[in-house]
Structure 1
Amino acid sequence: MSVGLNSERDVNPSHPSTEKTIADFDPVKKPERNKFAFTCAILASVASILLGYDIGVMSGAKDYIQTDLKLSDVQVGFLVGTLNWYSLFGSAAAGVTSDWIGRRYTIVVAGAIFFAGALLMGFSTNYAFLMVARFVAGIGVGYGLMIAPVYTAEVSPASSRGFLTSFPEVFINAGILLGYVSNYAFSKLPTNLGWRIMLGIGAIPSVFLALVVLGMPESPRWLVMQGRLGDARKVLDKTSDSKEESQQRLSDIKEAAGIPQDCNDDLVQVQKKSHGEGVWKELFIHPTRPVRHILICGIGIHFFQQASGIDAVVLYSTNIFEKAGITSSSHKLLATVGVGFTKTVFILVATFLLDRIGRRPLLLSSVGGMVLSLSALGFGLTMIDHSHETLPWAVALSIAMVLAFVAFFSIGMGPITCVYSTEIFPLRLRAQGTSIGVAMNRVTSGVISTTFIMLYKAISIGGSFFLFAGIAAVAWFFFYTCFPETRGRTLEDIEMLFGNLINWRSALKDEQKEEEVHGGNEGQIQMGTKA
């Protein structure tokens, strides 16, 4: 009789037991994207427009500034590149400021400083005045570079953290495109007026940034560090995919912050965390193995992002196109708009792939494509340099490879640097750790952008891109060897992936085996219970 009942269950899909069995094997539906977290990420990432606009607009404005103020190539190099050096002060200060007054109001500080810098650049009367203005703007850029990805990572649920944390890079690219368009739009004005409007109009995004912050909540992780558990719980309820995830995120953050799980909102007020005291010692003097691994990865990805030559291509695209055979000023500026458009389109594609494909596959594919495109660009420019006749195929190859390079960069290396470096640092180290990565990013960018003209005059422009291709090849092996995948893990869980710089795969396999054994034991217990 029991056989008959079993047979009925097997052949009757409408039988209740059959429905339960089928439901047990249904794939878990991916949660819908959290609209509140999505909005917060967009608003915070507006800060990244500041850097993007400055990069894009300076690419074209520098030629008019050089003509108007009669500057040498060395002065132009310092004018373009020193903003990256100046931004070091901003990114270093932002780490302390964000732990002191919170992530949200640090974004306001970034906008206010860049607003003053943009106005000063627009009203500059000479080179010295302009360099002072660049210093002020650089401080604001440094603040924005550090705080936008940190805030976005801390409000994002794990299911869409890669998508949302890539927004700062998206807005950098949007700012670059706006800068290129601004160059083209104001290029017909008198030389002494055009570049001042190009630079001064950058104050507009910073005003918008200060206003949108009013609609943003504070970071839940910062609130917990201040003992404001009630406020943190409200933000987590809005930015999580479910109540269960909200409770789990709060539990994880409390554990990372050293707050007992049973501590209530009133008692925790006496256990507020300090504003970063001891963090620098933990990062540099007495780092644990996981922290050392994280620090190497965080600094390394920022270094290689810039050392592979992206700022040389973006900031000096007019020089590259001129070497490739485009001599008309308006045509060169129009070609730079094409570069900005390509970067923006591919960064948008990348945002949808980060949480589907993962960080490692995109990063390795991106850097591999960069190696090939830089090598081909170096070859094309070298052929043009050594030919006494116009080579249409070499011109076409060079232009195509510029576009290919920025496309490959934007599909992986660009957004993943921001995403990866913000999510790997544990809570207690996140602000300062991220600011260290940004500092490395700005130092490397400053060296490349300041010296690129001197570099290509010393070893030829084609040789410069062969050099960048070699650096990108080294980067590929570094990422392949040292970088574990972080997709789908909570920020508090990611630290467990680190600690074995070279042999992290072995540690991950051991962890997976333990999970499989644990899962198998649970399955056997459940089967025994059903039996």
Structure 2
Amino acid sequence: MADRKSENKAVYDAPENPIPAFGTPEKRPPRNKFAFACAILASMTSILLGYDIGVMSGAVIFIQDDLKISDKEVEILVGILNLYCLVGSFAAGRTSDWIGRRYTIVFAAVFFFLGSLMMGLAPNYAFLMVARFVAGIGVGYGAMIAPVYTAEISPASSRGFLASFPEVFINAGILLGYVSNYAFSKLPEHLSWRLMLGVGVIPSVFFAFVVLTMPESPRWLVMHGRLGDAKRVLDRTSDSKAEAELRLADIKRAAGIPENCTDDVVPVLKRSHGEGVWRDLILRPTPAVRRVLIAAVGIHFFQQSSGIDAVVLYSPRIFEKAGIKKKSDLLLATVAVGFTKTAFILVATFLLDRIGRRPLLLSSVAGMILSLAGLGFSLTIIDHAGDKKLMWAIALCISTVLSFVASFSIGMGPIAGVYSSEIFPLRLRAQGMSIGIAMNRVTSGVISMSFISLYKAITIGGAFFLFSGIASVAWVFFYTFLPETRGKTLEEMEALFTDFKWRSSFKRNSNKEDTSNGQVQMG
């Protein structure tokens, strides 16, 4: 075991301390360009989810006026896609174990193509809801499979960077949706929202074809006994030959294949194709798997329950409450939200493998807590001011919306997908991610389908004070429950979660760092 640990340390250049010190210099291998390209292509599927979120926030303004629907019907229309995602998300786990991660991405693109086409041609509210169901299946497939594939294709040295790409493209999709809203807002009402929604067919066609240029996940290939194919993919996606060999040995061990087996194709147990997974994941999990599942479900729950979709989907209403009345101005203000989210998610991609998941996550949530409290305060002041315009309160409202989405995007946004995609054992990864994504989409659906009713019941300022309280609970959960995973191989995660004394581990490792730093200075 000691030799194995030393080998891992040498190959991955990963610090022994699971919670690294800020600013610790370390030599990093150059980015693997092939893995980088694969991660981009797979993650681009996430544009579908982002586009739907962004475009619906503006399109619903025109839909409500054109189809004469109530606020309750608006809530359902906006949020129901998140519940429809459950079908695609749960199906994606088994589908990806059956036909592969790559062809599952094709499924996502096909369903979203059909859904976007139907939404663009919808003659009434009922048909629009059916179209949302079809699109939701595609979004569920894409939301689950993109982070799984990206995590499995990535070398450990840049896994955080590459696995954050799905969230990057979700933000890019949101921005495209906002831009689409503004671009079509000048058209006649009955035509504008149909074009906004129908344009989604363009990226889905592109993804369905471009994904065929990607290799299959090496972990899926090993699960199906295709060791020769897996080795060729690992040789191209690893930082060195030694790392490729080590990754292959770790994956074979996780799949129950002897390490000394050198055949290109080997028979595999039927359970490697997905049988027995739900039993090991839900009914009779090991203590480590149970903790992994709680961590994954918890991070996805808090990501959405802290109110990000309330801000993104209903930003036109928030800005309207702040005093902006003209439709085109409301949509232009939402474009600023999209730019801010996209800019800060790009910053986050470069920090994940430098300072780690845990410090970035805790800093992000702290910023969200303060921003939500500030937003709740400003909206409460504006609400009580009546017809009187308070420019400082309006400025505070707009700035706290932007600071909230910036804080979310620099940590909570990308880390939820990165963290949950890397902590599950190989055989449980696809279905485990399905559960995490299901919690994410259910929570998002509840928030987005109840936000208007919530702020009517407790005021819009009170709603954001509530979200600030939830974010505070999230910070405590993350601090006490989530260990650092930076630099760890995917096969090392189960051992990491077996030792469950995170707080004592944090103090112990901090003392090690202090001692180590003192020795360096003395030397």
Q: Is the 8 A contact 2:227 2:265 kept in 1?
A: no
The residue that corresponds to 2:70 in the other structure is: 72
Q: Please state if 1:250 is matched with 2:252.
A: no
Structure 1 position 500, deviation (Å): 4.6
CA distance in 1, matches of 2:325, 2:169: 30
What's the offset of the Cα at 1:504?
Answer: 2.8
For the Cα contact (< 8 Å) 2:223–2:268, is it kept in 1? no
Aligned to 2:462: 463
RMSD of aligned Cα (Å): 1.7
Retained in 2: the 8 A contact 1:293–1:500? no
Q: CA deviation at 1:214?
A: 1.7
User: Post-superposition shift, 1:510?
Assistant: 8.1
Contact kept in structure 2, 1:317 and 1:336, CA below 8 Å: yes
- Distance in 1 (CA, whole Å) between partners of 2:236 and 2:247 is 12
Deviation at 1:265, TM superposition (A): 2.0
Residue 384 of structure 1: CA displacement?
0.3
Match of 1:490 in 2: 489
Q: Give 1:88 deviation, angstroms.
A: 0.4
Partner of 2:418: 419
CA displacement at 1:267 relative to structure 2: 6.5
Higher-Rg member (1/2): 1
Pairing 1:4-403 to 2, within 5 Å after superposition:
29-265=27-263, 268-271=266-269, 273-388=271-386, 389-403=388-402
Paired letter, 1:161: R
Q: Deviations over 1:275-334 (max 9, x none)?
A: 211111111111111101100000000000000000000000000000001111111000
Unaligned runs of 5+ in 2: 1-24, 513-523
Return the letter of the residue paired with 1:446.
Answer: G
Partner of 2:445: 446
C-alpha change, 1:267 and 1:199, in structure 2 (3 Å) is closer
Cα pair distance change 1:71/1:509, threshold 3 Å: same
- For the residues of structure 2 that align with 1:507 and 1:387, how far apart are their CA atoms? 51
Is 2:425 the counterpart of 1:436? no
Aligned residues of 2:226 and 2:265 also touching (Cα < 8 A):
no
Q: 1:270 to 1:451 in 2, by over 3 A?
A: closer
- Kept after mapping to 2: 8 A contact 1:92/1:436: yes
Is the contact between residue 498 and residue 504 of structure 1 (CA under 8 Å) also seen in structure 2?
no
- On the 8 A contact 1:294/1:424 being kept in 2, the answer is yes
8 Å Cα contact 2:380/2:462 also seen in 1? yes
Q: CA deviation at 1:268?
A: 1.9
Residues 165-208 of structure 1, C-alpha deviations (whole Å, 9 max, x = no match): 00000000000000000000000000000000000001111111
Over 3 Å counting, the alpha-carbon distance change for 1:454 and 1:236 in structure 2 is same
Cα distance in 1 for partners of 2:362, 2:508 equals 24
Partner of 2:478: 479
2:294 partner amino acid: I
Provide the secondary structure at the position in 2 that maps to 1:188.
coil
Distance (whole Å) between structure 2 residues aligned to residue 153 and residue 28 of structure 1: 22
Give yes or no for contact 1:159–1:355 (8 Å, CA) kept in 2: yes
Q: Which residue of 2 aligns with 1:3?
A: none
Q: Match of 1:492, SS?
A: helix
**Distance of aligned partners of 1:441 and 1:270 in 2 relative to their CA distance in 1, 3 Å threshold:** closer
SS of the equivalent of 2:418 reads helix
What displacement does 1:499 show? Answer: 2.9
Change (3 A) 1:381 1:170: same
Looking at structure 1, the residues matched to 351 and 125 of structure 2 have their Cα atoms a distance apart, in angstroms, of: 44
Counterpart CA distance in 1 for 2:284 and 2:510 is 29
Contact 1:257 1:273 in 2 (8 A): no
1:154–1:221 contact (8 Å) kept in structure 2:
yes
Structure 1 counterpart of 2:327, which letter?
S
**TM-score, scaled to structure 1:** 0.90
Deviation at 1:457, TM superposition (A): 0.5
Letter of the 1:481 counterpart? T
Q: Which amino acid aligns with 2:149?
A: Y
Distance 1:409 1:270, change over 3 A: closer
Residue 272 of structure 2 aligns to a residue whose secondary structure is coil
String of CA shifts for 1:355-391, please: whole Å, max 9, x gaps. Answer: 0010000000000000000000000000000013111
- Structure 1: tracts of 5 or more residues without a match: 1-26, 515-531
Q: 1:4 maps to which residue? A: none
Q: CA deviation at 1:508?
A: 7.6
User: In structure 2, how many angstroms separate the alpha carbons of the residues matched to 1:75 and 1:379?
Assistant: 29
In the alignment, the residues of structure 2 paired with residue 477 and residue 513 of structure 1 have an alpha-carbon distance, to the nearest angstrom, of 22
User: C-alpha distance in 2, partners of 1:78/1:412?
Assistant: 29
Offset, 1:511: 9.7
- Do the aligned residues in 1 keep the contact of 2:422 with 2:490 (CA within 8 Å)? yes
Shift, 1:274, TM fit = 3.3
1:222-255 CA-to-partner distances (Å, cap 9, x unmatched) read 0000000000000000000000000000000001
**Letter matched to residue 428 of structure 2:** L
In the TM superposition, residue 506 of structure 1 has moved relative to its aligned partner by: 4.0
Letter in 2 for 1:321: F
**Residues 150-169 of structure 1 deviation map (CA, whole Å, 9 limit, x = unaligned):** 00000000000000000000
Q: 1:499 maps to which residue? A: 498
CA distance in 1 between counterparts of 2:452 and 2:426 reads 41
- Kindly tell me the number of residue pairs found equivalent between the two proteins: 488
Q: Structure 2: how far apart are the matches of 1:423 and 1:197?
A: 38
Superposed CA offset, 1:420-473 (max 9, x none): 000000101000000000000000000000010000001000000000000000
1:308 and 1:469 in contact (8 A); partners too: yes
CA contact (8 A) 2:255 2:272 kept: no
The one-letter code of the counterpart of 1:491 is: L
DSSP-derived class of the 1:54 partner: helix
Opposite residue 64 of structure 1, the aligned amino acid is F
